[in-house]
Amino acid sequence: MAASLRKIIHIDMDAFYASVEQRDHPELKGKPLAVGGDGKRGVVAAASYEARKYGVYSAMSSKIALQKCPHLIFVRPRFEEYKKVSLQIREIFSEYTDLIEPLSLDEAYLDVTHNKKQFPSATLLARQIKEEIKTKTNLTASAGISFNKFLAKIASDFNKPNGLFTIVPADASKFIDELPIKKFHGIGKVTAKKMHKLGIYTGEDLKKWKKNDLLKHFGKVGGFYYHIARGEDSRPVNPNRTRKSIGAERTFSEDLLEEQQMLEALEKITQKLSSILIEKNIKGRTVTLKVKYSDFKQITRSQTSIEDIQTKEDFTKVYVALLKSIFPLRKGVRLLGLQVSNLSSQEMSSKVGMQLTLSF
């Protein structure tokens, strides 16, 4: 079936972690809330809409968040509860279609071209899904509806929270032309700045560029930019998308300066990673070391092995070499992380497509 004939819904839960906490703790409703650690090295994992009004967002340091909102309330994350609610929502999706592509615990694509309810209208279907989520979980979701994944994803960001927005084929070209380039899904802040320097501020500006010129300035992804400027996205909703990587990281209360301290920290991270890999019968080939310095500058170092990596001993051989490559240190280290990719397993074809991050 041609991509233009698909009916795709993108469901995005509203401030998911924070909303679960406000649901389970009524005294937190209507208050600026951050899920994360409130220590001087803490990081915001999620922020309620009340906190966002003050400029508090996920991935922000807790220190900066408190500067922006001195009366911000911090709660510790409860990932097991978030996973439980996510499974409830997934069950609701499965009542409507089997073509479900989860992106994370709180968002997913649904192809409802041929749906179990035999609804001809994807918009009405999305409204019913939202209502069922509200009834069964007491949480709100935003839905974007369109004929491809790119436009459905963008549509779900409109009218948040509890939004519903549809982009039909007849309106797509005008919608994209008027869309600020910084709102394009797949174009981050750094790329948007680069585009601004080239005079690209809207979809209409981007559409004027030839494909070869975009490839020249942005590499392979330039081809993607060329097509999305024209509303073209042939990617299907893939319910069997495999997990790409498994990672774990740790932020320290004090900067690490000595190699031995870092080796001990990486050993603990490795224990977590290895136990998950063994439990899930997953192996990898590439290990990436993530290092964040005290000034928040971040680097990564990777190594790919010809042999499978799964056990603690496998990891140790690699991360010891990777760690040595960052010395002498440019600054103290506030965070270390390890990630394994190039994964393989007999079970992986049936696994959910998302990166698994282990929390400490």
Is 80 a known active-site residue?
no
Q: How far apart are CA 195 and CA 224, in angstroms?
A: 14
State whether the Cα torsion 129-132-134-137 is positive or negative: negative
* 180: preceding bond cis by omega (within 30 degrees): no
Instruction: For residue 225, give every residue at least 6 positions away whose Cβ sits within 8 Å of its Cβ, in sequence order, or none.
Output: 186, 187, 206, 214, 218
Tally of CA atoms within 13 A in the half-sphere of 293 that contains its CB: 12
Do 352 and 286 form a contact (C-beta atoms < 8 A)? no
Q: Which two tokens stand for residue 43?
A: 């990081």
d(CA 3, CA 155): 17
Q: Which amino acid is at 159?
A: N
Rg of the chain taking only CA atoms, in angstroms: 22
**Measured between alpha carbons, how far apart are the two ends of the chain, in Å?**
45
Q: What is the C-alpha to C-alpha distance for residues 71 and 87, in angstroms, rounded to an integer? A: 33
CA dihedral 340, 344, 349, 355 (to 10 degrees): 0
**How far is C-alpha 179 from the geometric centre of its chain's CA atoms?**
22
Residue 32 phi/psi, 5° resolution?
-65, 120
Tell which residue, 128, 185, 123, has the closest CA to residue 153: 185
Query: Taking Cα atoms as reference points, which of 23, 37, 89, 91 lies closest to residue 65?
Result: 37
Residue 268: closest CA among 329, 215, 336: 336
Catalytic-labelled residue, pool 101, 107, 232, 254: 107
Which are the catalytic amino acids?
107
